[in-house]
Structure 1
């Protein structure tokens, strides 16, 4: 599979790190990486990462190429998506978080790319796909959204709960680490006033797109799940705190969750009393902590962790493979 990474921020860099470091991705050829930042800066930020540590083996930038993991990848600056080297490219991973115009996507397809995968919620994609939730519906879509990290954590769990026990309703709170959308010091960033406050100092109540995206990914559950978020002063790993009402609740919810995780490859388990840093670089979309389960009548509280960068990037590569191997 030949890919181009368009946007070399947090997700773009983690995707390339996984391609270079995990043997299951050895067959992926990265034709080019493109970003707005100076290539020397991109190479430095890829070499030294405040969350995942320095890249083993080091990184160099020479003659317009990023050199790492025994590979040499052209590193481009400020190229429009449709002007990227797209000859024979199977997939463009749009990791900019800024593509809102379908015209630029169509121009990219017309220029030679077979497909485009967008690393976030998108209203211009043909379909929104979440592994373990609705990936059987990917069909021949050429422009796919990978939803959000929180939607990837929540949707597979909701699908399986509803299939096994019947979901009446639920409410999810994501306890989410701060991100680049928040300032380091109080500063105007947008209409959500609380998110104008320093992200590494306070817990910040805010919104999440996950509930809206659940309606899109699992339309048969539309209107049954609400969601909210609290951004917290942690640099990585987030959590889902979900309360659901079920039509036929299991007799032992904690063991039911263990069985559910065993049956779904994107859901993991952690039995030890862990804190968020212990879940760093877990590849699952959600890692359930069954010992945190609480039951009251038909109401069950479920708690799970997710590495919002590493796990989400792993799903990007999973969906990329689906788009490449499906029958067109």
Structure 2
């Protein structure tokens, strides 16, 4: 599979790190990486990472290419989609977060890419795909959104709950680490006033796109699940705190969650009393903590962790493979 990574921020770098450090991705040919930042800055930020540590084996920049993991990967600076080397490329992984119009995504197809996978919510995509939730609908769509990290964590769980027990309604709160969309010191960033406050010193109540995206990914559940977020002063790993009402609730909810996780490859388990840092670099979309399960009346509380960078990047590669294997 031949890919181009367009945008070398948090997700672009983690995707390339997974490709270089896992034998499972040895067959992926990274034709080029493109970013707005200068090459030496890109190489430095790829070599040293505040969350995942130094890249095993190191990185050098030689002749306009990243030398890492025994590979030489051309590193481009500020190249427009129309000028990227997309001839005979299977997928453009658009990790810029800046592709908001259909024409820009279609330009990648015109330039030679067989398909485009967008690393976030997108209103211009043909389809929003979440592995473990609606990936059976991937079909022949050529511009696909990989949804959000929280949607990837929540949607497979909701699908399993509804299939097994019937979902009446639910509310999810994501306890989410701070991201680059928040300032390090109080500063104007947008209309959500709380999001203008320093992200590393306060818990910040805010919104999440996951509730809207659940309606898109699992339309049968539209209107039955609400969602909110609290950004917290942690640099990585987030959590889902979900309260649901089920048509036929299981007699032993914690054990039912264990069985559910065993049946869905993107859902994991953690039985020990862990904290967020213990879940760093887990590849699952959601790691359920069965021992945190609670019941009160007809409500069940479910708690799970997700590495919002590592797990999401793993799903980007999974969906990329599905798009490639269907012959686009």
Matches within 5 A, 1:80-99: 80-99=80-99
Matches within 5 A, 1:42-61: 42-61=42-61
> Deviation at 1:297?
2.5
Give structure 2 stretches of 5+ with no counterpart: none
Deviations 1:81-117 (A, max 9, x none): 1210011100000000010011111111011000000
Partner-residue secondary structure (3-state), 1:313: helix
Q: Which residue of 2 aligns with 1:265?
A: 265
Runs of 4+ in 1 over 4 A off after TM superposition: none
Output the CA distance in 2 between the equivalents of 1:257 and 1:235: 28
The answer to whether structure 1 residue 163 and structure 2 residue 163 are counterparts is yes
Q: Which residue of 1 aligns with 2:153?
A: 153
The 8 Å contact of residues 60 and 66 in structure 1, kept in 2 or not, is answered as: yes
Output the CA distance in 1 between the equivalents of 2:217 and 2:232: 27
Output the CA distance in 2 between the equivalents of 1:141 and 1:283: 25
RMSD: 0.6
Q: Which residue of 2 aligns with 1:3?
A: 3
Output the CA distance in 2 between the equivalents of 1:11 and 1:86: 20
Matches within 5 A, 1:169-208: 169-208=169-208
> Deviation at 1:292?
0.2
Q: Which residue of 2 aligns with 1:300?
A: 300
> Which deviates more, 292-301 or 262-271?
292-301
Output the CA distance in 1 between the equivalents of 2:54 and 2:114: 33
Partner-residue secondary structure (3-state), 1:187: coil
Q: Which residue of 1 aligns with 2:249?
A: 249
Q: TM-score, normalised by structure 1?
A: 0.99
Q: Which residue of 1 aligns with 2:234?
A: 234
Output the CA distance in 2 between the equivalents of 1:286 and 1:166: 20
Partner-residue secondary structure (3-state), 2:42: helix
Output the CA distance in 2 between the equivalents of 1:28 and 1:260: 31
Q: TM-score, normalised by structure 2?
A: 0.99
Deviations 1:250-298 (A, max 9, x none): 0000000000000000000000000000000000000000000001222
